[in-house]
């Protein structure tokens, strides 16, 4: 592969690493910054990777008719290179067809062999000629398969959502999951003056949040290094708004890393009181500590600790932002749709139930707990909360609509859904512990 095409090379290598290693796309994407020095190459490589991962199922459907066997059964390098080439041909108008095919063949020569190069050349040339005539499953006869293929989601997830909602509701959700996620920031209220990134636009539903249209160089900017803002989705911040921490209180964030909600809590308290940010991962707690230092938060105390284990101390407020299936953030984390399986849900739910119970144990009488996820699945959300309330006489639900009146995403709980509410999918429930 010529050195003049580092972006496509880096994209192919990253897709291979994503398949071979048990690491998420979030973990791997920063590696591009180390491999590529030019900002344009970084942006193009990221676009290629995210596009190939996001549209994987539809890409395979488009490619399969031109292969001797399904793309999923080809060698890894053949799969990655074909998907990268097809994505450029069918989604990136600014890339000439000839360039998309030629560079894919050169990648195949470098990472495969002559047979793979010949296959890539033949398949992509046929796709170039016939892409306007691709036939998709019949939406009337098999809506699950059609939506799964056309919007590139696993069939089991589409089927789950169609059991819960009708097609007119599910379609915008699927479509939104295939849009590039915005990068949003939360201003640091502890800074007397803040410098916003260029062209930033205010976004709701909470004040102090802005969308950054061009995030290139954001983390190297002086304003970021000096703690003027923190990267955070505004819908994720709803959990802390529902928790409503007050100056001078003791607060526990049970599953804290990377610290967006912990730093938001400390800032909301005016940096007066105590915020214990707990997480099981030492590396991730290091990120919480770095963010607290950058934002100038002295009240935040990061600790390495499993939230499921009992511990000493009673807190005025506890946030249990628990590990979940992350089906509400598939636009931001497109690989999650391929990493999740329905048989994983029971173990996730069991963990969530344990964490909610431990969180409640940490509450003082009269204290407030918020249980939150970035999942859309009712088993992880309403069912966990309702089951806990049934088992726990001292626990009382405080409807989210009391805190957020006249908001379409707030009734008993907070529930935002991509395609129907701006931003990520989120869930939050507020629970108060009886005085005695």
Catalytic positions, please?
A: 374
Q: Is 426:414 a contact under the CB 8 Å cutoff?
A: yes
CA distances from 210 to 200, 219, 366, 374, 385 (A): 6, 15, 35, 20, 31
Element (H, E) at 396: strand 395-398
Distance of CA 59 to the CA centre of its chain: 22
Secondary structure (H, E, C), 237-293: CHHHHHHCCCCCCEEEECCCCCCHHHHHHHHHCCCCCEEEEEECCHHHHHHHHHHHH
DSSP 361-393: HTEEEEEEEEEEES---TTTTHHHHHHHHHH-T
**Dihedral of the alpha carbons of 93, 44, 97, 73, in degrees to the nearest 10:** -110
- Are 159 and 377 contacting, i.e. CB atoms less than 8 angstroms apart? no
CB neighbours of 192 closer than 8 A, spacing ≥ 6? Answer: none
Q: Residue 370 and residue 5: Cα distance in Å, rounded?
A: 49
- Using CA atoms, how far apart are residues 265 and 238, in angstroms rounded to an integer? 11
CB atoms within 10 A of CB 214: 12
How far is the C-alpha of 198 from the C-alpha of 145, rounded, in Å?
Answer: 43
**DSSP SS3 for 64:** helix
Pairing of strands 184-187, 229-231: antiparallel
How is the chain split among helix, strand and coil, in percent rounded to 5? 50, 15, 40
User: Computed from CA positions of residues 104, 106, 108, 110, in that sequence, does the dihedral angle turn out positive or negative?
Assistant: negative
């Amino acid at each position: 592969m010529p050195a003049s095409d580092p972006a496509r090379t880096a994209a192919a290598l990253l897709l291979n690493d994503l398949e071979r290693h048990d690491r998420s796309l979030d973990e791997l994407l920063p590696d591009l910054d180390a491999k590529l020095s030019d900002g344009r190459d970084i942006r193009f490589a990221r676009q290629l990777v995210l596009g190939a991962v996001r549209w994987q199922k539809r890409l395979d459907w488009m490619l399969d008719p031109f292969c001797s066997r399904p793309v999923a059964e080809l060698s890894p390098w053949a799969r990655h290179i074909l998907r990268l080439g097809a994505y450029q041909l069918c989604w990136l108008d600014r890339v000439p067809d000839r360039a998309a095919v030629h560079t894919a063949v050169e990648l195949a020569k470098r990472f495969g062999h002559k047979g793979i190069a010949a296959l890539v050349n033949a398949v992509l040339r046929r796709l170039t000629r016939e892409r306007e005539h691709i036939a998709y499953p019949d939406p009337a006869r098999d809506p699950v398969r059609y939506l799964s293929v056309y919007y590139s989601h696993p069939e089991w997830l589409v089927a789950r959502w169609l059991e819960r909602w009708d097609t007119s509701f599910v379609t915008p959700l699927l479509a939104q999951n295939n849009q590039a996620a915005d990068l949003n920031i939360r201003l640091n209220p502890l800074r007397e003056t803040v410098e916003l990134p260029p062209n930033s636009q205010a976004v709701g539903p909470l004040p102090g949040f802005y969308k950054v249209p061009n995030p290139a160089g954001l983390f190297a900017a002086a304003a970021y290094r000096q703690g003027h803002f923190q990267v955070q989705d505004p819908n994720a911040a709803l959990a802390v708004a529902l928790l409503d921490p007050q100056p001078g209180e003791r607060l526990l964030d049970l599953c804290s890393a990377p610290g967006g909600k912990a730093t938001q809590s400390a800032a909301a308290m005016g940096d007066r009181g105590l915020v214990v940010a707990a997480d099981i991962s030492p590396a991730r707690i290091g990120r919480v500590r770095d963010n607290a230092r950058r934002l100038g938060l002295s009240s935040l105390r990061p600790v390495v600790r499993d939230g499921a284990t009992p511990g000493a101390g009673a807190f005025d407020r506890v946030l249990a932002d628990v590990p979940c299936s992350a089906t509400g953030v598939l636009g931001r984390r497109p690989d999650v749709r391929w990493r999740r399986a329905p048989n994983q849900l029971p173990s996730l739910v069991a963990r969530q139930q344990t964490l909610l119970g431990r969180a409640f144990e940490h509450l003082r009488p009269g204290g407030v707990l918020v249980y939150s996820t970035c999942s859309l699945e009712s088993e992880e959300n309403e069912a966990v909360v309702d089951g806990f309330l049934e088992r726990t006489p001292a626990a009382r639900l405080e409807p989210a609509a009391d805190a957020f009146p006249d908001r379409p995403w707030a009734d008993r709980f907070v529930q935002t859904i991509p395609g129907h509410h701006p931003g990520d999918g989120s869930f939050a429930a507020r629970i108060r512990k009886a005085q005695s």
